Chains A and B, each alone.
Chain A
Amino acid sequence: GAVVSQHPSWVICKSGTSVKIECRSLDFQATTMFWYRQFPKQSLMLMATSNEGSKATYEQGVEKDKFLINHASLTLSTLTVTSAHPEDSSFYICSARRLAGGGGFGANVLTFGAGSRLTVL
């Protein structure tokens, strides 16, 4: 089945440093990937839509200069948290969109990575 690999699974960094998180679709091509963040006991919040070969689309309130997204190939998207601060500590989850048939029709479904837990000291 479809698998999305996310790396690293957890990272601890000092305030002011930048952290890169990778998201790879292992057995399918994904022209579109999504990045979410999740704070404890809260739901997933969509941060941005990553499109292969073009600029990412950010949700309202998400700083594009703070969260740099690159989607250079059909199987890889990266999220870089620049100049991280303790308030950026969160669970970051990527997902890749794929077509899935079922019941005689097809629709887009998302396959998620396992998530990356970022702790900024």
Chain B
Amino acid sequence: DAKTTQPTSMDCAEGRAANLPCNHSTISGNEYVYWYRQIHSQGPQYIIHGLKNNETNEMASLIITEDRKSSTLILPHATLRDTAVYYCIVRASTGNQFYFGTGTSLTVIP
């Protein structure tokens, strides 16, 4: 599975959009981009996933560049409850395991 690179930490003002970047320059054609988040001392929570096209659900939007070498997770209106570590994972659809990197620690500031 392709390796991902994320900033270690980010801050975002409450009510503003939080844009979390992820680089995956070695991604293959059959690999999906997944985003999970982990609030302190809880199990990770699935957010969204995509292959080529941009995706949106009730939690967030996922923007994937045309060359698929990077993506951005967007939380449109960040709240204090969005403070968490956000993990970007790239994994083939036929793959089995999910390996977590170090993620981005997002702090939403009042």
Contacts and interface: CB of A to CB of B under 8 A. Distances in A.
Interface string B70-110: 00000000000000000100000101111111110000000
Interface range on chain A: under 10, 10 to 19, 20 to 34, or 35 or more? 20 to 34
Interface residues of B, number: 28
A93 B36 CA distance: 14
A61 interface: no
A43 B103 contact: yes
Contact of B96 (A49, A102, A112, A114): A49
A43 B102 CA distance: 5
A111 B46 contact: yes
A107 B57 contact: no
A102 B33 CA distance: 13
Given A46-B99, A102-B49, A107 B42 contact: no
Contacts of B43: 4, 6, 93, 95, 112-115
B51 interface: yes
Nearest to B98: A110
B46 A43 contact: no
Interface of B: 32, 34, 36, 38, 41-46, 48-51, 53, 55, 57, 87, 93, 95-103
Interface of A: 4, 6, 32, 34, 36, 43-46, 49, 91, 93, 95, 97, 100, 102-103, 105, 107-115, 117
12 contacts: A34-B97, A36-B100, A49-B96, A95-B44, A100-B49, A103-B51, A103-B53, A103-B55, A107-B49, A107-B93, A110-B98, A114-B42
Counting from the closest, the 10 A-B pairs by CB-CB distance are A112-B43, A44-B100, A112-B44, A115-B43, A43-B100, A114-B43, A103-B55, A107-B32, A93-B43, A113-B43
